[in-house]
Amino acid sequence: MTTLMKRARIAVVGAGGIGAAAHLPAVTALSDEAELVAIVDLDPARLADAVETFGPTRGYADLGEMLAAERPDITVIATPPHLHEPLSIQAMEAGSWVFCEKPLTGSLASADRIREAEQRTGQWCVTVSQFRYSGGSRQVRDALAAGTWGRPLLGVAHTSWYRGPDYWEAAWRGKFRTEFAGATTSQAHHAIDLLLWLMDSPWEQVAAYADTLSRPIEVEDASVASVRFRSGALATMLSTVLSHNQETRLQVMAEDATVDLHTLYMPLLDEWSVRRTDADGTRVVEDWAEPEEPVQAHRAQLANILAHWRDGRQPELTCAEARETLEFLTALYKSSAVGAPVTRGEIAAGDPFYEALDAAGPARAEAKHALR
């Protein structure tokens, strides 16, 4: 006898780039566990396309109308960043869990309002971090946390991506009001969040430079950072959209082995390697040679949320955990602005950086604009 799984009613808000490429395919691929009950988008043509491609389902132009009519169990928010806070809170107030695209939001103050809404409504807001859910990442994290390769000592997270001028044609991109920040938060978020998770110790202090070196945008297109962890470990980070040779590179040098990842958009199992050096030379101690079927990592994270939802358990990466990465990013921008290292916990209410991820960014952009 087969037991039917309890299916969650899911709505996807935002059928643009990532909504149509990742979230809608993820929900429909998990049809044993999830039912796509609605798609919401302000753009009628996009909405019609998405309903035709991923339906049968209903299309709405307004989140409030959809929430009242459909009462979804989980609402996916895949809109531009400045809408994440209001739409997530609105969905939670209507009794829905939220699965929200990164960056969760544009300030620690805003994250605290989302956290307050979680507590008030009894719902959860989970942030997308699909790198954590791609095959190899979980295996590497578990092995590092178990001490298999000794203590993590040094880390590297380099996001060297390329975005040409057409990328900023979408009106919300490149502006503080709608995107909040640039390459470090929008693109390097994946690698930074993954490294912070793998190092198995909270970050303690960051010293950084962030600037707009080339693109005609307000937000930064490059940053470099040095990080110290509570354990004493150190890390270096580089985040840019200016590299003509695209790569995402992660490294954790632990006492007994070094873990490497070379990838671009999805850390698959066979893109990780672990090497050890001893008297006999350097050898690979783990190479997950079995190439895994390409995992659509948004799907893997959604499957993880669904398993928690069915069991009535708190999901992973709710607001409190996502806030940790947001605090790190805020500290990175503050360090660049003040020209000094910033320590975990020092950005609190009353600090302009509590109210905006890159609080000094607009003045920096204005000064650059005046020089042009």
Ligand X SMILES: NC(=O)c1ccc[n+]([C@@H]2O[C@H](COP(=O)([O-])OP(=O)(O)OC[C@H]3O[C@@H](n4cnc5c(N)ncnc54)[C@H](O)[C@@H]3O)[C@@H](O)[C@H]2O)c1
Residues within the interface to ligand X (CB under 6 A): 13-19, 40-43, 46, 63, 78-81, 83, 101-102, 128, 130, 170, 186
What is the closest distance, in whole angstroms, from the C-beta atom of residue 130 to ligand X in the complex?
6
Closest CB to ligand X among residues 79, 325: 79
Closest CB to ligand X among residues 38, 254: 38
What is the closest distance, in whole angstroms, from the C-beta atom of residue 350 to ligand X in the complex?
28
Closest CB to ligand X among residues 41, 73: 41
Give alpha helix (H) positions in 94-146: 108-121, 135-145
**Helices H / strands E in the chain, number of each:** 14, 15
Question: What is the C-alpha to C-alpha distance for residues 344 and 346, in angstroms, rounded to an integer?
Answer: 6
Closest CB to ligand X among residues 233, 297: 297
What is the closest distance, in whole angstroms, from the C-beta atom of residue 199 to ligand X in the complex?
21
Quickly count: other Cβ atoms within 10 Å of residue 245's Cβ. Answer: 6
Give the end-to-end CA distance of the chain in Å, rounded to a whole number. Answer: 72
Output phi, psi for 56, to 5 deg.
-75, 130
Closest CB to ligand X among residues 94, 254: 94
Q: What is the number of residues in the chain? A: 372
Question: What is the C-alpha to C-alpha distance for residues 272 and 147, in angstroms, rounded to an integer?
Answer: 18
What is the closest distance, in whole angstroms, from the C-beta atom of residue 86 to ligand X in the complex?
8
What is the closest distance, in whole angstroms, from the C-beta atom of residue 63 to ligand X in the complex?
6
Give yes or no for a contact between 236 and 206, defined as CB atoms under 8 angstroms apart: no
Closest CB to ligand X among residues 155, 182: 182
What is the closest distance, in whole angstroms, from the C-beta atom of residue 367 to ligand X in the complex?
26
Closest CB to ligand X among residues 8, 219: 219
Q: Cα 347 from chain centroid?
A: 21
What is the closest distance, in whole angstroms, from the C-beta atom of residue 158 to ligand X in the complex?
17
Long-range CB pairs of 311-320 (<8 Å, 24+ gap) are 314/124, 315/97, 315/124, 315/126, 316/126, 317/126, 317/127, 317/129, 317/132, 318/118, 318/124, 318/125, 318/126, 319/104, 319/111, 319/114, 319/115, 319/118, 319/124, 319/125, 319/127, 320/115
Cβ-closest position to ligand X: 16
C-alpha closest to that of 181 among 247, 70, 105, 236: 105
What is the closest distance, in whole angstroms, from the C-beta atom of residue 319 to ligand X in the complex?
16
Closest CB to ligand X among residues 106, 152: 106
Helix (H) or strand (E) holding 28, with range, is helix 24-29
C-alpha closest to that of 163 among 51, 57, 59, 240: 240
